[in-house]
Amino acid sequence: MARPNKEVEALLQEYADLVSITGGDAYRARAYEKAARAIGGYPTDVSRLDAKHLREIPNVGKSIADKVEEYLRTGHMAAVEDVRAQIPAGVRELIAIPTLGPKKAMSLYQELHISSVDELADAIQAEKLRNLKGFGPKTEENILHGIKLMQSAGDRVQIGVAMELAEDVVAAMERVAGCEQCTYAGSLRRMKETIGDIDVLVAAADSAPFMEAVTRLPYLSEVIAHGEKKTSIRTNRGLQVDLRVVPPDSWGAALQYFTGSKAHNIRTRELAVHQKLKLSEYGLFHAGSGRKIVSRTEDEVYARLGLPWIPPTLREDRGEIAAGLRGELPELVTDADMRGDLHTHTDLTDGMATLEQMIAAAAERGYAYYAITDHAPDLYMQRMTDDKILQQRDAVRHLDGKHKRMRLLHGTELNIGPSGDVDWPEDFLADFDLCVASIHSHFNQDRDALTRRLIRACAHPCVNIIGHPTTRHIGKRPPLDIDLDEVFAACARTGTALEINGQPERLDLSDENIMRAKRHGVKFAIDSDAHSTLHLDYLRYGVGTAQRAWLTAEDVINTWPLGRLRRFLDKDRPRKGRPGEGRTSRPAGGRE
């Protein structure tokens, strides 16, 4: 289940929002936001720390540590409850709307007495917001879009939240005597970006112990249904878990069936019918006699239908059946193919771990190479300077190759300005090993301006990767309105990779856009965008998204050996060179 760190993070972030709503000190709100992020990304379970050790977490001072310790001890944080009481529940409901900030939510309540999402939608339709300071037709449009985003998300959660819970449930079921196999299925196994509920499948001769065990999970909120073959529960985070127990002999057929998708299963059942067979969650049967043919493994089921095993991430009825019948399924990129991570941050800017901690954690993952890409100075709140980045470069050079022979790349994440310019002049950028360039502001430019902005960044001789290209935050911020095909063509033309950002709230590019970009001949970088050592694991979600887009290792630059990667990163950039160091002739460590 969710680590206590995440619960504390959510509570402190709520407090920061409430401080903003009530007109409190902006610095104080920002301090709580920083503390929330630091605790959320902290590798140690905060429930095991006292107030003294909580203060050792970056950005957590005595006052915040005391509040956290109070919550962990009592389950309550008095400061949050006090400020909640000052604000109508309806206003807190409005804050959840993407694109509507806390101050605007309070203004709507004070000026127009709006205290629900429905009332807000009605007021926009009646054009009642336009006379309010800070509101206008464009603001109304953005708010309506935010309402649609929130409503479309419904009860779905981001994949990272669902995965954490699913892996905990699977581990609990595997500890029950009699468990022969157990895994999660459904849309989570297909690595969809949001998950409605969690399907867990167990193979066992006796289902009763598992049906009992799932109702004793510590985070149970209610038992929705309890039966011999299936039990459904709701957790205290609102997620539904459906547990099914099947005989070991039916494991393969059940796993294939409950993984889905529905459209994929229709295709496989059609294949079975054409062969005078019947496919169900219990097995593959002769339609006439009812005799079971195969059911124990997914491989057997697919093989009997004339197909290779189809990876779950492809099972969306997007041509995988036809490709399988032709023997043309791609060999998808996997976690094991990833030689390194090319977009990560340290506490020099907005990360929560030191340079040494991030490098050590990356080395433990067995990487051949690893890039540090802290923010550049145009994001002024990060307080980056030339001297700071050059000092970091010296530290990176000193640590290069000292952690399991892993080679280090010193890079930066540049900010793509409103006209497409980036931080630092070209001659300064030439000495970075790589540059990621991303949009972090001015999201409301028109389509043509945003498109030109990205194309200009692609053409920069020192920009290697466009980070989180559409800037979306799933369920919170929509993707930018860009002519993506123009951008994809520019990336292919200039030798600029597009990022598949593994942060669960981003997964940017999406699988559909990756498929479009690949048709233009674009290469990709799958990155974690890690801001703590724990975030390095987000690479798995980027890999899952890449698989859903049918990518192979050849499509992804950070599956390549270091020498080949360096040649790609050289692009057309000018080189001043570094004393005693060759750019492409250095031997690679790790898996190269």
The CATH number for 306's domain is: 3.30.210.10
Mean pLDDT in residue range 544-557:
98
Domains contained in the chain, number:
4
Q: pLDDT tier at 494 (50, 70, 90 boundaries)?
A: very high
Which pLDDT does position 574 carry in this prediction?
65
Examine the pLDDT at 121 and tell me if it is beyond 60.
yes
In a domain, residue 260? The reply is no
Cα 93 to Cα 87: distance, rounded to the nearest angstrom: 11
133 and 186 fall within a common domain: no
pLDDT at residue 144 in the model? 83
pLDDT at 585: 31
- Rounded Cα distance between 193 and 158, Å, is 6
**In this predicted structure, what is the pLDDT of residue 586?**
31
> Looking at residues 19-45, what average pLDDT do you find?
83
Please list the helix, strand and coil fractions of the chain in percent, rounded to the nearest 5, in that order.
45, 15, 40
329 and 306 in contact (C-beta within 8 Å)?
no
In a shared domain, residues 127 and 100: yes
Shared domain check, 436 and 508: yes
Both 351 and 415 in a single domain? yes
pLDDT for 293? 94
Strand 157-158 and strand 194-195: pairing?
antiparallel
Q: Is residue 193 part of a domain?
A: yes
pLDDT (tens digit per residue) in 342-357: 999 999 998 989 999 9
Q: Measured between alpha carbons, how far is 179 from 245 in angstroms, rounded to an integer?
A: 10
Decide which of 92, 127, 153 is a domain's last residue: 153
Mean pLDDT taken over the chain: 90
Backbone angles phi, psi at 151, to 5 degrees: -70, -35
In Å, how far are 325, 348, 351, 465 from 34, measured between CA atoms? 53, 14, 10, 27
Whether residue 88 sits in one domain with residue 23: yes
- Sorting pLDDT into bands at 50, 70 and 90, what band is 587? very low
Give the span between the Cα atoms of 446 and 527, in whole angstroms: 28
Let me know whether 297 and 411 are in one domain.
no
| 323: nearest Cα among 353, 300, 302, 295 | 302
Tell me, yes or no, whether 288 and 242 share the same domain.
Answer: no
What is the model's pTM? 0.86
Tokens of 155: 């009860």
**Is 482 part of a structural domain of the chain?**
yes
Confidence at residue 357, expressed as pLDDT on a 0 to 100 scale: 95
Whether 519 is covered by a domain: the verdict is yes
Out of 103, 127, 153, a domain closes at 153
Domain membership of residue 175 as a residue range: 157-246
Question: Whole-angstrom Cα distance, residue 542 to residue 426?
Answer: 30
**The predicted structure's pLDDT at residue 52:** 86
Please state, in angstroms and rounded to a whole number, the distance separating the CA atoms of residues 247 and 379. 57
Residue 281 maps to a domain: yes
- The yes-or-no verdict on residue 582 having pLDDT over 60 is no
Please give the pLDDT value at position 485: 97
**Domain contains 253:** no
Provide the CATH number for the domain around residue 531: 3.20.20.140
65 is written with which tokens?
């540590």
What torsion, rounded to 10 degrees, do the Cα atoms 65, 69, 71, 73 define? 180
* Matching residue, tokens 């570094």: 578
Instruction: Choose between 51 and 171: higher pLDDT.
Output: 171
CATH of the domain at 123: 1.10.150.110
Among 512, 552, 503, 502, smallest CA distance to 334 is for 552
394 & 537 share domain: yes
Q: Is there a domain that residue 251 lies in?
A: no
The mean pLDDT of 231-252, rounded to a whole number, is 93
Output the domain CATH number for residue 177. 3.30.460.10
In a domain, 344, yes or no: yes
Q: Are residues 145 and 167 in the same domain?
A: no
Q: Which helix (H) or strand (E) holds 182?
A: strand 181-184
Q: How confident is the model at residue 581 (pLDDT cuts 50, 70, 90)?
A: very low
Does the structure show a pLDDT above 70 at 294? Answer: yes
- 461, with CB counted inside 10 A (0-12, 13-18, 19+), is middle
Q: Are residues 136 and 273 in the same domain?
A: no
Last residue within a domain, chosen from 96, 129, 153: 153
What is the CB neighbour count within 10 angstroms for residue 379?
18
Q: 265 falls in which pLDDT band (50, 70, 90)? A: very high
Are 343 and 457 part of one and the same domain? yes
Contacts of 355 (CB under 8 A, 6+ apart): 346, 348, 372, 392, 395, 396, 399
Regarding whether 545 and 504 lie in a shared domain, the answer is: yes
Laid out side by side, the sheet with 283-286 consists of 277-280, 283-286, 292-294
